Amino acid sequence: MNYQEAKAKLETLGQSHLLRWYDELGDMEQEALLSQIEALDPALLEVFKNYSSSGESVRGVIEPLGALTMEDIAENKEHFESAGLEAIRQGKVGAVLLAGGMGTRLGFDKPKGMFDIGVTHPLYIFECLIHNLMDVVDRAGTFVPLFIMTSEKNDEDTREFFEEQKYFGYNPEYVHFFVQDMAPAVDPSGQILLEEKGRIATSPNGNGGWFSSMVKAGYLGLLQREGIEWLNIFAVDNVLQRIADPCFIGATVLSGSESGAKVVAKADPQERVGVLCLEDGKPSIVEYYEMTDEMITRREPDGKLSYNYGVILNYLFRTDKLTEILNNSLPVHVVNKKVPYVDENGNLVKPTEPNAYKFETLVLDMIHLHESCLSYEVQRDYEFAPVKNPDGVDSVVTARELLKKNGVTI
Ligand code: UTP
């Protein structure tokens, strides 16, 4: 895109300020800015307009969805595990680590997986995850292909770290990196922000685009060639994450469901967690802030909360279904965050409070594109220790306690 074309596009979008410093930029910076402008998706600005006028999305008819409980799972453990291990040995299972997030709440300026959660010795978050995956590798006697999604902002650091740490003993031939897409940030009036005079403020566009980014990176061929039928998607920040868990895989495969989600029973009705339920008869996740009081407190005849099962960002998807829904669009979520920006005088401002809006699609919305999802209950203290904050809830402090409880020397 040349300058004139960029100017015309921005005029139509009401974003001409992005070229304010154009004449001051060097050739390379000018070119980079023009390609950022070319890549700007006008649809996101429309999303923001609708968001600022209505503020919320419209949901269908929501109903509770139970789960395969821990008791059900214990009764069938051997059966499920042997089916899962068989699928892994046949090379039918891959794992996808979502590590493209910015981890702003943690306030660590490197990729979150590089955070050292150890106390008496270094213990990196990535190391915990690989260690957990090695349990399965040892049992199955084969490595599980591991795809790692990074973003433009942390790709180099992440790759270098894995190299430096010799992949924590994992076989590098089974590790495949890919980079997710970015989206611009806007101020409350919908004006796109610049993070430098010649650079639009962008951030990773959420974890919902992971499969399309994988395909863009050319991995569909590999999935098909290797016969990888299932992908286990998981978050970087849960240090107790069980990855490619044979029991979960076996239970999902044998259930005939199109997808599977690990869930934990809510700690209390008000817990701020997305709940797996049915929406218009299909599986779906309702965020805690979308639930009415009636939904929050409703109970089943056995006394359990009707909307009881919170998701922990550990899902199983079928590759063929993912390919089928590849071009289906996901809802775009608008989130209020702190975004450094260059003001109209050319000064860099580092806000201390959320000042801008980012656009994200979320992997949890993919569940609703499936006809069925096995809701698979796991024990919170053994499988869920998210590191979102430095202290308080879901923090370094709580995760350390849970690691200790699980016998990990920290
Ligand atoms: P979070 O929703 O906790 O976001 O990500 P975050 O960016 O890591 O942290 P905050 O909100 O800025 O503090 C849940 C999972 O999704 C991944 C994260 O790396 C984490 O594993 N993620 C998130 C991506 O891979 N890409 C994204 O754009 C956002």
CA-CA distances (angstroms) from residue 341 to 3, 28, 186, 207, 348? 23, 21, 10, 24, 6
Q: How many CA atoms lie within 13 A of 231 on its CB side?
A: 26
Q: Output the residue whose Cα is nearest ligand 1's atom 10.
A: 103
| Secondary structure class of 262 (helix, strand, coil) | strand
**Structural domains in the chain plus CATH codes:** 62-405 (3.90.550.10)
Span from the CA of 244 to the centroid of ligand 1 (angstroms): 20
Per-residue pLDDT of the chain (410 residues; tens, 9 = 90+): 999 999 999 999 999 999 999 999 999 999 999 999 999 999 999 889 888 776 556 789 999 999 999 999 999 999 999 999 999 999 999 999 999 998 889 999 999 999 999 999 999 999 999 999 999 999 999 999 999 999 999 999 999 999 999 999 999 999 999 999 999 999 999 999 999 999 999 999 999 999 999 999 999 999 999 999 999 999 999 999 999 999 999 999 999 999 999 999 999 999 999 999 999 999 999 999 889 999 999 999 999 999 999 999 999 999 999 999 998 888 899 999 999 999 999 999 999 999 999 999 999 999 999 999 999 999 999 999 999 999 999 999 999 999 999 999 99
Residues with CB under 6 A from ligand 1: 98-105, 112, 149, 180, 204-207, 235-237, 313, 388
Span from the CA of 187 to the centroid of ligand 1 (angstroms): 21
Structure tokens at 146: 């591991």
**How many residues does this entry show for the chain?**
410
Span from the CA of 29 to the centroid of ligand 1 (angstroms): 29
Span from the CA of 269 to the centroid of ligand 1 (angstroms): 25
Contact partners, residue 186, CB within 8 Å, separation at least 6: 45, 48, 192, 193, 356, 357
Strands 259-265 and 374-377: parallel
Which of the listed residues 236, 240, 358 should we mutate to test ligand 1's pocket, taking the one with most ligand atoms within 8 A of CB?
236
